[in-house]
Structure 1
Amino acid sequence: MAISSIQFLHSLRPFNASFTTTTTTASSSKNSKTPRVSLGFRSSVDFNLCSLSSGFFVSSSARSRAWALVRNRGEKTEDYPPVTDSVDDDQANAPQVYNWSGYRRLFQIVRDLKLKLQVVMSFHECGGNVGDDVHIPLPRWVTEIGQSNPDIYFADRDGRRNSDCLSWGIDKERVLRGRTAVEVYFDFMRSFRVEFDEFFEDKIISEIEVGLGPCGELRYPSYPAKHGWKYPGIGEFQCYDKYLMKRLTKAAEARGHLFWAKGPDNAGSYNSTPHETGFFCDGGEYDSYYGKFFLNWYSQVLVDHGDRVLALANLAFEGTCIASKLSGIHWWYKTASHAAELTAGFYNPANRDGYAPIAAMLKKHGAALNFTCVELRTLDQHEDFPEALADPEGLVWQVLNAAWDVCIPVASENALPCYDREGYNKILENAKPLNDPDGRHLSAFTYLRLSPVLMESHNFMEFERFVKRMHGEAVSDLQANSNKKQTKLQGTDDQVAA
């Protein structure tokens, strides 16, 4: 529940007269300002200081963190009385029992501040990734089922389970106390929608990002640090639970080749390189008849999972914008097989566009795409990890164009902490591509994460410069370097509440 990101929402269109930018933070724009700028766009920008994650259930820490937020803002405590839990621990461990009290109090604070909310439906374990300082496991009633039936989790070839999220193999299997996984997701989303109806009706909740896999991203958990993976390892396929293997067997039977009902036996391990394997090396088995069959099946399972969950999300949140997040697997992008993308479920070798089917699926549900790693530069990757043959710029450009080609909104965020001008400039390049004849642009950018490091004076000055440029303001280096006073961001009350 911690406030950890800032989101810039852009609605840009060509504008050939005098150029203005309108800044709004609340649902009303009565106090908006319209400074003159020198960009050929009119921009409407929202700062969402609260990008909040929901999950299967609400942790009791939500209450204390919301309470701490009020204290830190120096407001009277009687204005925001403590919330009393209405559900005890035994009840909270039961399916379809949700405690929304902490969220309700925090949402009321956000509404009082005249801000908007982007809420994330998180159906994954939190913790253990870059930048994580908390650990929130799956609900206890789910992990209890996993103790007796570990096949509810993804598994690698050696049978190691990954409890970050539930296997897509149980999307339609009634193994969660009589419910399928997608029914569990839908019941949670429906409960949230009913509980916070007023916030939806008042447009305080402006967007729902639907988690579709580990870290909330639509991908297989192919590179888990808990199993020893280190960058830039190719990762491993994650289809060896009994439910996904049953589906693979059916697909092989339908194809008439039952002996294809297996995963590759020459795909290396988590920290292998492509050329060390018989499957991913140049001319390797990934491009054989069997390889194409397996990779097509593996990637289709990913697309089908997104299709099912987003269909139910649209049903639960009818009338509210939804989005899903895609990870940026940029290492080994400059090889023929794109091995790291293949193990993550993106069938994107050099001779195939693996992101077009995903974009088409999102288009079907009217969902926006949120993509990461827009701040990374290929040159930096070559200097730091030349052996990875990474190309984040090429990957970003491919994915953005796949989404723009089907006319869906594209948002983005930084993958790693970003405080330098080179990273900010790369974000700006991706947000508003120069000389694009169609005027395509990002619809939103989420800055990760608010931290004490960002608030250091020199870092915050660079951040101020970046934010002004995201507004479309012309900022000179002289102006940025001479600005020694406490910097502020334009918002409802012209400052960032952190």
Structure 2
Amino acid sequence: MEVALMGRRAGVVKPELFATRKLGLVESGRTGSRVDRIRFDPATGRGRKGAVKMARSGVRSEMAVREAELNAPKKSTGPVRLFVGLPLDAVSDCNAVNHAKAIAAGLRALKLLGAQGVELPVWWGVAAAGEWSAYLALADMVRDAGLRLRVSLHLHASRRPAFPLPDWVSRLADANPDLLFTDRSGRRRQDCLSLAVDNLPVLDGKTPLQAFEEFFRSFRSAFSDFIGSTITDISVSLGPNGELRYPSFPPSTGSHLFTGVGEFQCYDKYMLADLKRHAEESGNPLWGLSGPHNAPEYDQSPDSGNFFRENGGSWETPYGNFFLSWYSGQLLSHGDRMLSTASKVFGDLPVTLSAKVPLLPWWHDTRSRPAQLTAGFYNTYGRDGYDAVGEMFARNSCAMIIPGMDLLGKEQPHGLRSSPESLLSQIMKACEKHGVRVSGENSSLDGIGVEGFRRIKEILSAENSSVDSFTYHRMGAFFFSPEHWPLFMEFVRSMAQSEMDSDDLPSNKEEKLSLSVDREMQAA
């Protein structure tokens, strides 16, 4: 039985899409007493030690056709579908299932709680050779639990946990470092390929787009028995951390929130060649010799250099407009190429195709908005840099994943002039304008408190909200801890009860849900 969150008046919900009922949960304290029995090894699971190698238990064909209207971008008027992300290292870099018993118990608990499904991170570096056994085993576990599956195809690398690019790609990048994004100091980013090589045969005669398409087709073939039934959503990576952006700020360490302006990433030889060509075509060849020379360094403030200065900065000059238009245009073209490739492979399937756009709220309450400029969004004061992004997603019939729905300006570090509410509203308005459905995520590094959950509920419950689903990150030791699990349960409960009728309020029968979850925890 599937249960979707009833965050607003739903109207008629077609059972072919998902069966729903209104859900009331008992006091969260009861259920939180034994959740710490779910154990997640904090290690990354490198190698085979501590990992459980699982073979696919068998093929069971499950016929379920979701209607074509699911793929049509429109406002969401039904229940918000709730997913919970599986651990990033649910499958190790040696292609073995990690935390198998804990994940199985977690899936049962989420099913009892009323979640629609879970999100599975799939790493290109793990499955590039077409070895899908561990991921197929996890898909079987999700199907056995009666949950749905959102798959995230990660074409980037990760530092924590450590998942590199495919070995053969890394070897080519070692031989030709200009395949990687490069900053003005010559530092290379090892987590994704430069977008300037999308259509160049730099991967043993293949273009990156061709390599990505092969990976997509391999996934489609391997998971054909799950797609449209268990697998309802597929998201594709567009850049670092899976997001449509340049790697303009360092990867997260998990404990430090980056707050600087970032740096432009246009110094590999392929990006510089394109910049030079663009400058010559514009009649200003000297503008194509390099990126801005007067921009600050990564962790500095906007006024540390003249480029982003609030008033009279170079970003307002003809040169600034030339460079920022080119830089953001390159990112948009890359996103369009990637989504077009994904649509070619997955567009005829009964799944929702999506990709992620980052929420970069620090320095948003300034005129230059430098953190967004270095990331590739030409979104200065008086200029809407997200309208073209929304149009690009709509053109490819793709839903937009927006993280950071838990963020509040009042909780941001002092002095950053951060405005997550304003930026989120702007991006969602662009989606509404172009008919793009939205899938939300949280992005807090240290878990979500009461205010964060309240903010998410406010967004999901808004009248005429375009949010179709929400993925909560991420399952693990903290997620099921006594400090967090009761808060998450209360969040789900409050969403489910927001528009209940009197005969749908919790009954003695539903009181048993708490005891059932306790039993699942003991079985882990």
Q: TM-score when scaled to structure 1? A: 0.79
- Taking the aligned partners of 1:247 and 1:393, their CA distance within structure 2 comes to 36
Q: Which amino acid aligns with 2:447?
A: C
Alignment partner, residue 290 of structure 1: 319
Mapped partners of 1:253, 1:124: distance in 2: 33
Counterpart in the other structure of 1:272: 300
Q: Which residue of 1 aligns with 2:456?
A: 427
CA-CA distance at 1:473 after TM superposition: 3.3
> What is the CA-CA distance between 1:284 and the residue it aligns to?
0.5
Look up the match of 2:79.
44
Partners of 2:95 and 2:127 within 8 A in 1? no
Query: Of residues 119, 131, 134 in structure 2, which corresponds to 1:102?
Result: 134
Q: 1:315 aligned to 2:344?
A: yes
Name the stretch that deviates more: 230-239 or 338-347.
230-239
Change (3 A) 1:401 1:309: same
After TM superposition, the structure 1 stretch with the greater mean CA deviation from structure 2, 237-246 or 461-470, is 461-470
Verify: 1:329 aligned to 2:346, yes or no: no
Residue 247 in structure 1 maps to residue 274 in structure 2: yes
1:65 aligns with 2:98: yes
- Structure 2 counterpart of 1:210, from 226, 232, 236: 236
Query: Once the two structures are superposed, what CA deviation does each residue of 1:413-442 show, in whole Å capped at 9, x if it has no partner?
Result: 111143321111111112222xx5xx1241
Aligned-residue offset at 1:486: 9.8
CA distance in 1, matches of 2:203, 2:296: 33
Superposed displacement of residue 455, structure 1: 2.6
Q: Which residue of 2 is the match for residue 418 of structure 1?
A: 447
| Contact persistence 2:260–2:299 (CA under 8 A) | yes
Kindly state the Cα deviation for residue 373 of structure 1 after the two structures are TM-superposed: 1.1
Amino acid at match of 1:65: N
Please provide the CA RMSD for this pair: 3.7
- Contact 2:252 2:258 (8 Å CA) reproduced: no
Judge conservation of contact 1:275–1:281 (CA < 8 Å) in 2.
yes
Match of 1:367 among 381, 398, 406: 398
Asked if 1:443 is matched to 2:468, the reply is yes
Q: Distance in 1 between matches of 2:275 and 2:186?
A: 16
SS in 2 for 1:400: helix
The 3 A distance-change label for structure 1 pair 42 and 399 is: closer
User: How far, CA to CA, are the matches of 2:150 and 2:423 in structure 1?
Assistant: 26
Give SS of 2:235's match.
strand
**Distance in structure 2 (CA, Å) of the matches to 1:124 and 1:8:** 33
What SS does structure 1 have at the residue aligned with 2:150?
Answer: strand
Contact 2:365 2:418 in 1 (8 A): yes
How far the C-alpha of 1:9 sits from its partner, in A, is 6.4
2: CA distance, partners of 1:52 / 1:317: 25
Name the CA distance, whole Å, in 2 between partners of 1:150 and 1:367.
Answer: 32
What stretches of structure 1 of length at least 5 have no aligned partner?
1-6, 76-91
Matches within 5 A, 1:50-449: 61-65=94-98, 67-68=100-101, 97-127=129-159, 132=160, 134-200=161-227, 202-225=228-251, 231-261=258-288, 262-282=290-310, 283-318=312-347, 319=349, 320-381=351-412, 385-416=413-444, 417-433=446-462, 436=463, 439-449=464-474
CA contact (8 A) 2:81 2:470 kept: no
Deviation of the 1:151 alpha carbon: 0.3
Report the Cα offset of residue 44 of structure 1.
Answer: 3.5
Show CA shifts across 1:289-315 (max 9, x none): 110010011001111111001111011
Seen in structure 2, the aligned counterparts of structure 1 residues 98 and 496 have a Cα distance that, compared at 3 Å, is farther
In the TM superposition, residue 198 of structure 1 has moved relative to its aligned partner by 1.4
Q: How far is the alpha carbon of 1:53 from its aligned partner?
A: 7.0
**Letter matched to residue 148 of structure 2:** K
1:487 deviates by 7.2
Does the Cα contact within 8 Å between 2:233 and 2:354 map onto a contact in 1? yes
1:468 is matched by which residue type in structure 2?
R
Q: Secondary structure at the match of 1:65?
A: coil
Map of 1:3 onto structure 2: none
Aligned residue identity for 1:224: P
Contact 1:53 1:122 (8 Å CA) reproduced: no
Match of 2:487 among 445, 453, 462: 462
**Alpha carbons of 1:297 and 1:60: their partners in 2 closer, same or farther (altered >3 Å)?**
closer
Secondary structure class of the residue paired with 1:162: strand
What stretches of structure 2 of length at least 5 have no aligned partner? 26-75, 109-123
Q: Which amino acid aligns with 1:335?
A: T
Pick the aligned partner of 2:498 from 436, 449, 473: 473
Give yes or no for contact 1:346–1:355 (8 Å, CA) kept in 2: yes
Q: What number of residue pairs does the alignment pair up?
A: 442
Task: Provide the secondary structure at the position in 2 that maps to 1:44.
Answer: coil
Tell me the amino acid that sits aligned with residue 79 of structure 2: S
- What is the SS of the residue equivalent to 2:203? coil
The one-letter amino acid paired with 1:115 is L
Residues 333 and 194 of structure 1: CA distance in aligned 2, closer, same or farther (over 3 Å) = same
Partner of 1:388: helix, strand, or coil?
A: coil
C-alpha offsets along residues 301-340 of structure 1, whole Å, 9 cap, x if unaligned? 1111110011110111122321011111111111110011
Code of the residue aligned with 1:192 in structure 2: it is F
2:415 is paired with a residue whose SS is: helix
> Partner residue of 1:89?
none
In 2, the alpha carbon distance for the partners of 1:93 and 1:279 equals 38
Letter in 2 for 1:454: F
- Matched residues in 1 for 2:421 and 2:107: separation? 43
Aligned-partner Cα distance in 2 for 1:72–1:35: 21
SS in 2 for 1:386: coil
Query: What amino acid does structure 1 have at the position aligned with 2:136?
Result: R
Q: Which residue of 2 aligns with 1:33?
A: 21
- 1:277 positional shift: 1.1
Distance in 1 (alpha carbons) for counterparts of 2:520 and 2:129: 40
Which SS does the other structure have where 1:387 is aligned?
coil
Which residue identity is paired with 1:471? A
| Contact 1:8–1:446 under 8 Å retained in 2 | no
Which amino acid counterpart does residue 262 of structure 2 have in structure 1?
G
Query: 2: distance between equivalents of 1:489 and 1:118?
Result: 28
Residue 324 of structure 1: SS of its match in structure 2? strand
Contact 2:105–2:521 (CA<8 Å) still a contact in 1? no
CA 497–298 in structure 1, closer or farther in 2 if over 3 Å, else same:
farther
- Aligned-partner SS, 1:186: helix
The verdict on how the C-alpha distance between 1:74 and 1:50 changes in structure 2, with shifts beyond 3 A counting, is: closer
Distance 1:428 1:67 in 2: 31
CA distance in 2, matches of 1:390, 1:74: 36
Contact residue 95 and residue 126 of structure 2 kept, 8 A:
no
Distance 1:9 1:243 in 2: 47
Cα pair distance change 1:50/1:231, threshold 3 Å? closer
Whether the 8 Å contact between 1:8 and 1:48 is mirrored in structure 2 is no
Structure 1, residues 374-410: CA drift from partner, whole Å, max 9, x if none? 11111111xxx22211111111111111111111111
